[in-house]
């Protein structure tokens, strides 16, 4: 690939991490001359070490702090439709081994060899999130490869979110292939029915990552009264009802999300056991405490309060406050589930913040289970960010 430009590591950079699988190269690690700064965002280049030895084929974005992402360990690789199809086929084979139905995360970014690209599958539809410039530029080719490999008919680009801004990409939503679904897609997980709005919903329309944590919560939910805070489309609440909970209350700030939760309950035939509250979650928990409400199982699955290192301290305080408000709502001997999808907060930091909050809420308890995302969200060992989801379940004493 001698026709490709070259970017070179600075002499003090450590190439061992990249050779051992770390996929990112930061701007302060490369020689930032005028030629490198002029490279087009989303283009490809050969990465060399300081001794001018080729290391990998990378995609480049001079406007991002992550100036390069490893696409292929072979510097001579060519990123084209065939390259996309080969990697998609590998990702698909694993999901088909894991799941009986075609509802899962098909591509989990770097962990599946697609830097900055997320693809969630909903039967014969797929929603892609191209959060890196190369994926945004090749969105059409990605859609065609998805059709060829996975047989999907509709491909929707959801170009929303903080990650795109960091890459200098505009927000956009576009139908790349097929026709937009005329109704939310029904997704069955753990016996519950969820309604995924592929065009207007949050992220790709549904959070597949919590599937194993929903399943664990179901073991605590039989015959229980359940509170699901930051419920989105009813994630934990509907799973609890599917497992035989006596009642579930879903709290979320989005009326549209709660309408989808109610539609899921109707499809399950459990509408009479579902209560929804549209409210700020913190205010709702305060109000429930004033009403004297108590629940056998309380689960809080908030958005990422610590999406970056700069937001870490404030985010940990927010997680502590969630635990502080949620703990008094748990009936004696009941259970509290707390979740974090923050990249910047590791498991130890989140666990400590949660424990502090439970104590500040006047309760004591023991940690009975720690969960993470399902296997359709694989973790790249060299990149902690791919293992972002943490779920803690506590049994609270009197």
pLDDT digits (tens, 9 = 90+) for 247-299: 999 999 999 999 999 999 999 999 999 999 999 999 999 999 999 999 999 99
**Main-chain phi, psi angles of 206, to 5 degrees:** -160, 150
Residue 189: predicted pLDDT: 97
pLDDT at position 232 = 96
pLDDT, one tens digit per residue, over 26-61 is 999 999 999 999 999 999 999 999 999 999 999 999
Distances (CA, A) of 33 to 25, 52, 167, 348: 16, 15, 20, 40
| pLDDT value, residue 2 | 60
Average pLDDT, the chain: 95
CA–CA dist 380, 364 (Å, integer): 35
Residue 347's pLDDT is 95
341 is known as an active-site residue: yes
- CA 61 to chain CA centroid, Å, is 23
Strand duo 185-189 + 247-252: pairing: unpaired
Q: Classify domain 81-177 at the CATH class level.
A: alpha beta
Each domain of the chain, given as residue ranges in start order, spans 6-72, 81-177, 185-396
pLDDT over 70 at 363, yes or no: yes
Average pLDDT over residues 164-180: 93
pLDDT in the model for residue 1? 47
Q: What is the model's pLDDT at position 60?
A: 97
- pLDDT value at 362 more than 80: yes
**Average pLDDT value for residue range 360-389:** 94
| Assigned CATH for 185-396 | 3.40.50.150
Round to whole Å and give the CA distance between 389 and 385. Answer: 9
Residues 17, 340: Cα–Cα separation, whole Å: 28
Residue from 250, 300, 339, 341 carrying the catalytic annotation: 341
Average pLDDT of span 167-185: 93
Q: Which residues of 226-254 are buried (b: 16+ CB within 10 A; e: fewer)?
A: bbbbbbbbbbbbbbbbbbebebbbbbbbb
Degrees (nearest 5) of the Cα angle 117, 235, 101? 60
Closest CA to 310 of 343, 351, 352: 343
CATH topology of domain 6-72: 2.30.130
Please give the model's pTM, rounded to 2 decimal places.
Answer: 0.94
How confident is residue 201, by pLDDT bands cut at 50, 70 and 90? Answer: confident
pLDDT above 80 for 119 = yes
Q: What is the CA 15 to chain-centroid distance, rounded?
A: 29
Mean pLDDT, residues 98-114: 97
- Using the predicted structure, report yes or no on whether residue 203 has a pLDDT greater than 80: no
At residue 13, the pLDDT reads 83
Contacts of 313 (CB under 8 A, 6+ apart): none
């Amino acid at each position: 690939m001698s026709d490709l430009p070259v970017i070179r590591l600075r002499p003090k950079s450590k190439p061992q991490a990249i050779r051992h699988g770390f996929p990112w190269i930061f701007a302060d690690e490369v020689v930032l001359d005028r030629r490198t700064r002029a490279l087009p965002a989303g283009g490809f280049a050969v990465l060399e070490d300081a001794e001018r030895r080729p290391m990998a084929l990378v995609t480049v974005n001079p406007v991002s702090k992550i100036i390069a992402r490893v696409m292929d360990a072979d510097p001579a690789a060519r990123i084209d439709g065939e390259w996309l199809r080969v990697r998609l086929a590998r990702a698909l084979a694993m999901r088909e081994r894991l799941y009986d139905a075609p509802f899962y995360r098909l591509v989990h970014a770097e962990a599946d060899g697609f830097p900055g690209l997320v693809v969630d599958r909903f039967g014969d539809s797929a929603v892609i999130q191209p959060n890196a410039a190369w994926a945004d530029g090749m969105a059409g080719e990605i859609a065609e490869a998805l059709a060829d490999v996975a047989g999907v008919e509709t491909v929707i680009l959801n170009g929303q979110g903080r990650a795109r801004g960091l890459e200098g990409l505009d927000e956009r939503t576009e139908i790349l292939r097929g026709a937009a679904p005329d109704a939310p897609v029904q997704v069955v997980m753990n016996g519950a029915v969820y309604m995924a709005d592929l065009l207007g919903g949050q992220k790709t329309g549904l959070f597949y990552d919590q599937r194993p944590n929903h399943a664990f919560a179901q073991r605590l939910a039989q015959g229980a009264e359940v509170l699901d805070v930051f419920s989105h489309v009813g994630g934990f609440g509907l799973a609890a009802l599917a497992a035989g909970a006596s009642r579930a209350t879903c709290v979320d700030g989005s009326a549209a999300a709660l309408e989808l939760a109610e539609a899921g309950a109707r499809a399950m035939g459990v509408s009479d056991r579902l209560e929804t509250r549209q409210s700020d979650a913190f205010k709702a928990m305060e109000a429930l405490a004033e009403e004297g409400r108590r629940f056998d199982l309380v689960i809080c699955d908030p958005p990422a309060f610590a999406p970056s290192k700069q937001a870490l301290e404030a985010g940990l305080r927010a997680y502590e406050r969630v635990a502080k408000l949620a703990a008094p709502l748990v009936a004696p001997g009941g259970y509290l589930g707390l979740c974090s999808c923050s990249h910047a907060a590791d498991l130890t930091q989140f666990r400590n913040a949660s424990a502090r909050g439970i104590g500040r809420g006047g309760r004591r308890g023991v940690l009975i289970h720690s969960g993470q995302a399902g296997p359709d969200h694989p973790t790249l060992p060299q990149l902690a960010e791919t293992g972002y989801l943490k779920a803690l379940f506590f049994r609270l004493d009197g």
